[in-house]
Structure 1
């Protein structure tokens, strides 16, 4: 087990990064950094966090404890283990919350790696086994640095991600999500969890996966979707949702889709609340593709097709009034 730097070392390294260390302290810092590979790795992680914090205006005025609580609520049930560990994580948490960017966090014993997507960005990461994941906003993937790809390929997902798993017949790739477990050898799929509702949903794109919970398990084929809820009931069927990967691709597809479903997909994709006042248009159908377009551009096209009126009630709420299916 690797020892964690003392508070004095953390303070020394911080002064070194801030160019506030004297010549003797600089020598002490360099001596400590070059003493071992783990020290070098720790310093690089600290440096990355420190430089990211410089991008935040008036960073010294930020309440780190408050940002830490926001970060824990939105991302991870984090555990604190000593004041230095908390301080390092709090700075990184503030970077994630305030900048909304993705981040990679390692705990003080270098045992866990946290891959994080902030509120405003989708993040792509390559894992040590050459698997690639795309994390949706406000999502997180956790794995053990010490054992992943050495003893096993186990990860924990909070939120939503698309996985392109590298093949390894000797070490299956296992994902823990809520109370479910997904076991694969090499495949691609979308996995989504909700900690509030307890719902976990997987759509298989290629390959084959085993999806299980405490009471049941199923095998999925490409094109199938499986879901489970807090009651542990597993449901498997053919996937009819064309937009389950829109958060990753930026593309929204509709084929004779009723407008109520169109607006529901727009709500999810653009993170808005859309209310249809005229129930006479909810069953109007739409066949089209929106390719990485802004919400404003999409709304303008729909207005031309269905002649409705849009009222923006605030930054997140949109009211749709009037309109007709026959234009």
Structure 2
């Protein structure tokens, strides 16, 4: 998903959907839409999203007046906007980001901060102004300053998990702030995950090198290394990392003589389902296989075939692998 159009285009597109433009403005919008395939696709997605938002039950019960009061208190020095206009954008933003749960760039005509959001059930790709690519895992957010980004540094703040492919620029380091840590790179690819509830931040480096630091500690990582930070403790660096940490982005799970205990941990994370083995001794069995964008049922069928398991579901949230034997 490419970075969205500038604010004035965004506003015109929304007003075009609402049939609230002059003939001259409508002509301008149509020219923009037809200027490229990307523009056409973006408009169609925005139009569909808006139409879906209109169909959401009780959507009009959003307290727009209260939202306006909060906005006014926090933005006294900003340029004035009409109440009807603000209400309109609050409605669209709330629909797109909260109720529909899709990835989106939150409009920022009220301040200097850009917020990229992935919905609760969807990973989303974005293109940053420096042409760096990021993939946000479901429920994650990334923010940056519209005026400061790509000036002397490329600073962003992450909540949740993201995979980064950073465009190389030796003069402007790319810096990610999250959970009292700072990741600094010039150009590389890495997976970064933070959990604000536990205070744990994990970084896995795929290419290039990064500096990973907290308030009191700092390490340099090279490809094949992973760092873990827990608030109040020193950064832990390891060289034996899990190949499946970025699987949420690629959809590919890879195992190479991996104990079934680790296999099930990775499957649980990927499919968001509790999976257990009744005979704990079988957790030491090894698996070598690759699951490429397969359903959980497909993966379980392969485990049944390889290890003679039978499948039981003691509860809707739990799958249990019973019986079975190791490969010979």
Q: Provide TM-score, normalisation by structure 2.
A: 0.78
Instruction: Report whether the alignment pairs 1:293 with 2:294.
Output: yes
Consecutive unaligned residues in structure 2, runs of 5 or more: 1-6, 30-41, 64-68, 73-82
Secondary structure of 1:55's aligned partner: helix
Q: Shift of residue 152 of structure 1?
A: 2.7
Q: Aligned partners of 2:290 and 2:22: how far apart in 1?
A: 60
1:139 and 2:140 aligned: yes
1:59 matches 2:56: yes
Question: What TM-score do you get using the length of structure 1 for normalisation?
Answer: 0.78
Confirm or deny: 8 A CA contact 1:110 1:145 kept in the other structure.
Answer: no
In the TM superposition, what whole-angstrom CA distance separates every residue of 1:112-163 from its partner, at most 9, and x where no partner exists? 1111111222211111111111111111111111111134310001111111
Aligned pairs (5 A) from 1:130-209:
130-209=131-210
| Secondary structure of the corresponding residue to residue 171 of structure 1 | coil
Q: Kindly tell me: are residues 119 and 318 of structure 1, through their superposed partners in 2, closer, same or farther at Cα, counting changes over 3 Å?
A: same
Residue 284 of structure 2 aligns to a residue in which SS? coil
Answering whether residue 276 of structure 2 is matched by residue 279 of structure 1, we say no
Aligned to 2:78: none
Cα drift, residue 217 of structure 1: 1.0
Corresponding residue number in structure 2 for 1:210: 211
Note closer, same or farther for the CA distance 1:49–1:64 as it changes in structure 2 (3 Å cut). Answer: farther
Alignment match, 1:219: 220
Instruction: Label 1:186 to 1:58 Cα distance change in 2 as closer, same or farther (>3 A).
Output: same
Q: What is the alpha-carbon distance in structure 2 between the residues aligned to residue 63 and residue 309 of structure 1?
A: 50
Q: Is the 8 A contact 1:201 1:227 kept in 2?
A: yes
Distance 1:132 1:281, change over 3 A: same
Displacement of 1:102 after TM fit? Answer: 0.7
**Deviations along 1:241-300, whole A, 9 cap, x unmatched?**
121121111111111111111111000011111232221321111111111111111000
Give deviations 1:53-87, integer Å, cap 9, x for gaps. 31247325237659xxxxxxxxxxxx952376576
Partner in structure 2 of residue 37 of structure 1: none
What is the DSSP-based 3-state SS (H/G/I as helix, E as strand, rest coil) of the residue aligned with 1:118? Answer: coil
SS of the residue aligned with 1:148? Answer: coil
Whole-angstrom distance in 2 between the partners of 1:151 and 1:80: 33
Q: Is the contact made by 1:204 and 1:220 (CA closer than 8 Å) also made in structure 2?
A: yes
Aligned to 2:71: 81
Alignment partner, residue 18 of structure 1: 18
User: Hey, what's the Cα distance between the residues in 2 that align with 1:304 and 1:265?
Assistant: 19
How many corresponding residue pairs? 291
Q: CA deviation at 1:195?
A: 1.1
Task: Give the equivalent residue in structure 2 for 1:258.
Answer: 259
Q: Which runs of 5 or more residues in structure 1 are unaligned? A: 35-44, 67-78
Shift of 1:89: 4.0
Give runs of aligned pairs for residues 40-55 of structure 1, distance below 5 A. 51-55=48-52
Aligned-residue RMSD, C-alpha: 3.2
